[in-house]
């Protein structure tokens, strides 16, 4: 059994634990802090290593605002949906109890990541340097790999045929079609 399979099994096991409200709250606050603050700090810090401006200042600010305006609602709606409807958190070690296929999840399988990718790209545009874009791209690729090789197999093990059917109907990341 490979490392990824062991991680998937660990997460499946975590889904069987009934977590207290306090545990869910702490996990959500820590996870949100990491995504909302740490990733932009990483984009900023590593971005300074390759500090070549790419866009005129006004263009980068406008594009960053557009990314935030579209990204943050996707991210927040998915987080609140997981907390309120899914009875869990976005943090994999304190997962939802319920299979979510409505709310923001009726448009894409990963609304939180869609929002986060726009959010982190918003910061790359805001910092407006080659290093920030490169760092944001690496973060996005790593998270896409996590979704495909860890999260989706874990959800398939937890929710079985219901998740397999959902995957056939709902796009992975971009909301090209709406579930009927």
Query: What does the pLDDT look like over 145-162, one tens digit per residue?
Result: 999 999 999 999 999 999
Predicted confidence (pLDDT) at residue 32 exceeds the cutoff of 90: no
Domains of the chain: 3-169 (1.20.120.1630)
Torsion of CA 138, 159, 20, 32, to 10 degrees: 20
Instruction: Give this prediction's pTM.
Output: 0.90
Predicted confidence (pLDDT) at residue 140 exceeds the cutoff of 70: yes
Where do runs of H (alpha helix) occur along 34-110?
A: 39-47, 57-84
Q: What residue has token string 């709902």?
A: 170
CB 48 within 8 A of CB 131: yes
Q: Provide, for the chain, the percentages of residues in helix, strand and coil under a 3-state DSSP scheme, each rounded to the nearest 5.
A: 75, 0, 25
**Of the candidates 38, 175, 160, 157, the residue with the CA atom closest to the CA atom of residue 104:** 175
Q: What residue has token string 């401006």?
A: 53
What's the gap between Cα 23 and its chain centre? Answer: 20
């Amino acid at each position: 059994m490979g490392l990824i399979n062991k991680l998937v099994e660990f997460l499946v096991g975590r889904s069987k634990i009934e977590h207290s409200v306090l545990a869910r709250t702490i996990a959500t606050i820590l996870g949100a802090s990491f995504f909302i603050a740490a990733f932009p700090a990483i984009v900023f810090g590593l971005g300074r290593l390759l500090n070549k401006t790419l866009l005129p200042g006004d263009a980068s600010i406008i594009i960053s605002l557009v990314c935030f305006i579209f990204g943050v609602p996707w991210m927040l709606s998915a987080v609140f949906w997981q907390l309120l409807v899914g009875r869990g958190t976005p943090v994999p070690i304190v997962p939802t109890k319920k299979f979510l296929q409505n709310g923001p999840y009726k448009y894409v399988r990963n609304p939180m990541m869609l929002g986060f990718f726009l959010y982190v790209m918003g910061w790359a545009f805001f910092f407006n340097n080659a290093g920030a874009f490169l760092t944001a791209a690496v973060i996005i690729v790593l998270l896409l790999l996590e979704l495909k090789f860890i999260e989706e197999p874990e959800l398939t093990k937890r929710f079985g045929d219901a998740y397999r059917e959902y995957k056939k109907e709902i796009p992975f990341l971009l909301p090209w079609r709406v579930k009927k």
